[in-house]
Copies of this chain bind each other. A is one copy, B any other.
């Protein structure tokens, strides 16, 4: 479990290791993902940065470059939801999957041990060595069921 603070420390460490530079842009993008702790698209991150740090005048290219980098070094991760495209979240938590409301877009995280175990056996049966997996359940959340 990474806190906001340790994530920043990790960023500095990784950058130094790779001979890369610590910049405010990189720090800010990482912090936003960790403090908002939500699932944000690249554009959404851009909006938040512009709003919270207008003096930075950050470009969309930097957003993309930084998100790609942060994902590469595993400080954040991304998932592609059907229509809504790619979204990023901080790597704070252990593995989990997502319930997504098809009406309002709400995202609920869940973890199910039984499913994890079954996935392992399915991979074994098919002679696959798992590197990763993801699962999305789409449906109507309580609120949206009530509305209709």
Contacts and interface: CB of A to CB of B under 8 A. Distances in A.
Contacts of A140: 128-129, 131
Contact of A128 (B101, B112, B135): B101
Interface in A40-58: none
A81 to B, nearest CB: 9
A147 interface: no
Nearest to A145: B129
A137 B122 CA distance: 9
Interface of A: 80, 82, 99, 101-102, 108, 110, 112, 114-115, 118-119, 122-123, 126-142, 145
A145 to B, nearest CB: 6
A115 B116 CA distance: 9
Nearest to A80: B80
Nearest to A114: B118
A129 B138 CA distance: 8
A128 B99 contact: yes
Nearest to A102: B131
Contact of A138 (B101, B115, B133, B136): B133
A135 B138 contact: no
A132 to B, nearest CB: 4
Nearest to A82: B80
A112 B123 contact: no
